[in-house]
Structure 1
Amino acid sequence: MSYIDGFVMAVPTANKQKFIEHASHFDHLFIELGALRVIESWGNDVPDGKVTDFRRAVQATADETVAFAWVEWPDKATRDAGMKKMAEDPRMDPNNPENPPIPFDGKRMIFGGFEQVLEVKA
């Protein structure tokens, strides 16, 4: 089964287009390094929870929208190799003037790798 990297971040709502441009620039690199697909999502039905929720998880403010993304890899070995190459790739360097600036506070982004245990399709 596939291996999934998941990301949740608080993005200033005014930066939606910048977020899309940033993702478009970098998501192609995931594919180049072996990912099967990358999905970027913009929150439009993210309710407040009673104990915790997506907004609290990333300390989103009233002027921010929660974005959710995931990268699907064929397996963990491909993901590990791809992420290692990505970390070494100058196209990922935030100081590279050719790269679009990160349009959100990366310190509040949460992320992790997940082993797929079940898949149900229509």
Structure 2
Amino acid sequence: MERYVDGFVIPIPNDNVDSYREMADEAGKLWIEHGALEYFEGVGDDMDPDTDEMSMVTFPRLAETRDDETVVFSFIVFESRDHRDEVNAKVMEDPAMDPENFDEEMPFDTERMSYGGFRSIVGYESR
């Protein structure tokens, strides 16, 4: 099956990681409830890896993080692009997504978030 993935790279203030985790926990439950196959959120840990001098762009550089920020890498897995569109439509219609239900402002700058949809070309799973 050719799965589909929505991926995100988000610069986030270090002081907001706990708030972000709480928000992501609720979001994850919502996406799974509406049919997503998997929901993952990870906060930067090894952001300056030893690449044996191989040149590459690290996530902090890609996300243009500031000194007081880290990076969140997240993805949501779907059966297909059509399935992604169906699930996301249900999520956006869910009353939990009504901005009036949000007690706090977003714990990151949404204009600096990177996002894209990806169709799988190789995929393995251990069982």
Cα shift at 1:26: 1.3
Instruction: Among all aligned residue pairs of Structure 1 and Structure 2, give the percentage whose two residues are the same amino acid.
Output: 34
Q: Does 1:102 find its partner at 2:106?
A: yes
CA change 1:87–1:121 in 2 (3 A) is closer
Question: Secondary structure of the equivalent of 1:77?
Answer: helix
Question: Secondary structure of the equivalent of 2:35?
Answer: coil
Task: Give me the whole-angstrom Cα distance separating, in 2, the residues matched to 1:74 and 1:108.
Answer: 28
Aligned 1:1-16 pairs, distance under 5 A: 1-16=2-17
Give the unaligned 5+ runs of structure 2.
none
Moved more, 21-30 or 55-64: 55-64
Give the unaligned 5+ runs of structure 1.
none
Q: How many residues align?
A: 121
The code of the aligned residue for 1:110 comes to: S
Aligned 1:1-122 pairs, distance under 5 A: 1-47=2-48, 52-93=57-98, 95-98=99-102, 100-122=104-126
CA change 1:99–1:76 in 2 (3 A) is farther
Moved more, 15-24 or 41-50: 41-50
The code of the aligned residue for 1:96 comes to: E
Normalising by structure 2, report the TM-score.
0.83
Cα shift at 1:52: 3.9
Deviations 1:46-101, CA, capped at 9 Å, x for gaps = 239967432233221010010000001111111011112223333223x3244553
Normalising by structure 1, report the TM-score.
0.86
